[in-house]
Amino acid sequence: MYNPKSLKAEEFISHEEVLETLEYAKANCRNAELIDRILEKAKLRKGLSHREAAVLLDCQIPEKNQEIYALAEQIKKDFYGNRIVLFAPLYLSNYCVNGCVYCPYHQKNKHIARKKLTQEEVAREVAALEDMGHKRLAIEAGEDPVNNPIDYILECIKTIYSTKHNNGSIRRVNVNIAATTVENYRKLKAAGIGTYILFQETYHKESYERLHPIGPKHNYTYHTEAMDRAMEGGIDDVGIGVLFGLELYRYEFAALLMHAEHLEAVHGVGPHTISVPRIRRADDIDPDVFDNGIDDDTFAKIVACIRVAVPYTGMIISTRESKACREKVLHLGVSQISGGSHTSVGGYCEPEPAGESSEQFDVSDKRPLDEVVNWLMQMGYIPSFCTACYRAGRTGDRFMSLCKSGQIQNCCLPNALMTLKEYLQDYASPDTRTVGKKLIEAQIPNIPSEKMRELVRQNLVNIENGQRDFRV
């Protein structure tokens, strides 16, 4: 029985409801009148239900599809402007007791190099990331109660926040670790994490159990209800996502939005971010054996429909996607991307010896951060290293209400410009610095309030004079 307010996984992600939604979307894929009504509702920027969004995703009328893309682009502009927030993943350990068949860290993979960073190594990796210019990390670790217990994760977070190299500092640590207990979520909250990220991989229970044959992650219910426990533990910014390619994308899309509706219905706040990874090649993993892969056009449509359905939720794509694909979807609604990423344990400091690999997946976009920053600016985007909100206590429903009222816009652009200025001063190549300086000058007049413009101008001078970490 479908019930978004239920705390039972099988009720808030009801299989029957997903199937009925897909039937409904299929039956209405050429229903111009209904699609128009849904688009009119979407223009109010208050979001759509999973059923409505599923109809847009299935829409087979070319002109209406153009309207969907145009609306996604407009919503992205209205809420996120032309800013793109940058982050990097940091792999702490690839020891894992689970058996996820799409991940090279699965327990039965005996030829992958297993590594776990010591605290000294964490500090070295962090210094290397700071030297690139990163301020925001997402830490990743396999599930292994012996090698990677919660205390190890907490210690790493402490090391990350306390490692300051030259002018560098990591100001926000997002955490992507296995589903855990309320008590552990409380500990993560107390450690000052930003977002807790956990991908569902697939919402299709039967497939989920087949794809996770062993280990604690086999338990669909425990995994699917993790965000409720995280919120109970005080973490109010959570990031959800699926791994596209494992199951039928329409199924995942509807269920992902049902999960967002559930969080909103129960906790009064939807997910902070949605990630849209696609399965990639890796040691021991051939993506071609999964028959549900999606092409770039379908991927773009998914991104556009998510943007229209949940306008206030940030959307993330990683370096799993190529430069060309990232270019294609950025304007449709993506608000955060990773850059200069290494997906191996210890990969920022030391390249892996020949024949040894601890990567979780092949990085498709291998460009260094400076190139990514330059590329974004050449396309008219403002690369942002902002981490202001959670540091100012703007999280959860407080953050969402600022988003919904549009007030957050008064913070995002000034913060983007000030953090970009820091990047240009400390890390940019001469060419990137030249492009960036012009971009900042051109963007200052777009800050709506005169008072804020003045403050930003003053802080830009302060940054040139060596001061750091300004935020509003």
The residue among 96 and 226 lying less far from ligand SF4, judged by its C-beta, is 96
Farthest-apart Cα atoms in the chain, separation: 63
Instruction: Please state, in angstroms and as integers, the Cα–Cα distance from residue 408 to each residue in 12, 27, 200, following that order.
Output: 30, 39, 29
The DSSP 8-state label assigned to residue 113 in this structure reads P
Which of 105, 152, 251, 361 is close enough to bind ligand SF4 by CB under 6 A?
Answer: 105
Q: Under the criterion CB under 6 A, does residue 106 sit at the interface with ligand SF4?
A: yes
Contacts of 465 (CB under 8 A, 6+ apart): none
Q: Which one of 98-106, 162-170, 251-259, 430-438 is the stretch in contact with ligand SF4 (CB under 6 A)?
A: 98-106
What residue type is 417 in one-letter code? L
Bridge partners, 315 (sequence order): 274
Which of 169, 415, 432, 443 is close enough to bind ligand SF4 by CB under 6 A?
Answer: 415
Q: Under the criterion CB under 6 A, does residue 85 sit at the interface with ligand SF4?
A: yes
Q: Under the criterion CB under 6 A, does residue 96 sit at the interface with ligand SF4?
A: yes
Q: Under the criterion CB under 6 A, does residue 14 sit at the interface with ligand SF4?
A: no
Q: CA 116, 121, 127: angle at the middle one, nearest 5?
A: 135
Binding to ligand SF4 (CB under 6 A): which residues in 45-64?
Answer: none
Which of 124, 217, 272, 342 is close enough to bind ligand SF4 by CB under 6 A?
Answer: 217
Q: Which one of 93-101, 145-153, 284-292, 302-310 is the stretch in contact with ligand SF4 (CB under 6 A)?
A: 93-101
User: Which stretches of 171-322 are DSSP H helices?
Assistant: 182-190, 205-211, 220-224, 226-232, 249-267, 296-309
The DSSP 8-state label assigned to residue 201 in this structure reads B
Alpha carbons 126 and 137: distance in angstroms, whole number: 9
Alpha carbons 108 and 55: distance in angstroms, whole number: 41
Q: Under the criterion CB under 6 A, does residue 389 sit at the interface with ligand SF4?
A: yes
3-state class (DSSP) for residue 439:
helix
Q: Under the criterion CB under 6 A, does residue 330 sit at the interface with ligand SF4?
A: no
Q: How far is the CB of 59 from ligand SF4 (least distance, A)?
A: 30
Which of 240, 386, 428, 456 is close enough to bind ligand SF4 by CB under 6 A?
Answer: 386
| 30 Cα distance to chain centroid | 32
Binding to ligand SF4 (CB under 6 A): which residues in 172-191?
Answer: 178
C-beta of residue 264 within 8 angstroms of C-beta of residue 258: no
Q: Under the criterion CB under 6 A, does residue 93 sit at the interface with ligand SF4?
A: no
Alpha carbons 355 and 359: distance in angstroms, whole number: 12
Which of 388, 418, 424, 440 is close enough to bind ligand SF4 by CB under 6 A?
Answer: 388
Q: Which one of 29-37, 289-297, 362-370, 383-391 is the stretch in contact with ligand SF4 (CB under 6 A)?
A: 383-391
Radius of gyration of the chain (CA): 21
Beta strands in 148-209 (DSSP E): 172-176, 196-197
Q: How far is the CB of 330 from ligand SF4 (least distance, A)?
A: 15
Q: Under the criterion CB under 6 A, does residue 412 sit at the interface with ligand SF4?
A: yes
Q: Under the criterion CB under 6 A, does residue 408 sit at the interface with ligand SF4?
A: yes
Number of residues that bind ligand SF4 (CB under 6 A): 20
The residue among 202 and 374 lying less far from ligand SF4, judged by its C-beta, is 202
Q: Under the criterion CB under 6 A, does residue 343 sit at the interface with ligand SF4?
A: no
Bridge partners, 314 (sequence order): 273
| 288 Cα distance to chain centroid | 25
Instruction: Please state, in angstroms and as integers, the Cα–Cα distance from residue 169 to each residue in 246, 345, 370, 391, following that order.
Output: 37, 20, 17, 14
Binding to ligand SF4 (CB under 6 A): which residues in 133-172?
Answer: 142-143
Q: Under the criterion CB under 6 A, does residue 411 sit at the interface with ligand SF4?
A: yes
Q: How far is the CB of 143 from ligand SF4 (least distance, A)?
A: 5
Q: Which one of 11-19, 67-75, 100-108, 275-283 is the stretch in contact with ligand SF4 (CB under 6 A)?
A: 100-108
Q: How far is the CB of 435 from ligand SF4 (least distance, A)?
A: 21
Q: How far is the CB of 144 from ligand SF4 (least distance, A)?
A: 8
Per the structure block, which two tokens stand in for 233? Answer: 């533990």
What residue type is 258 in one-letter code? M
The residue whose two tokens read 């009119």 is 40
| Contacting residues toward ligand SF4, per CB under 6 A | 85, 96, 98, 100, 103, 105-106, 142-143, 178, 217, 384, 386-389, 408, 411-412, 415
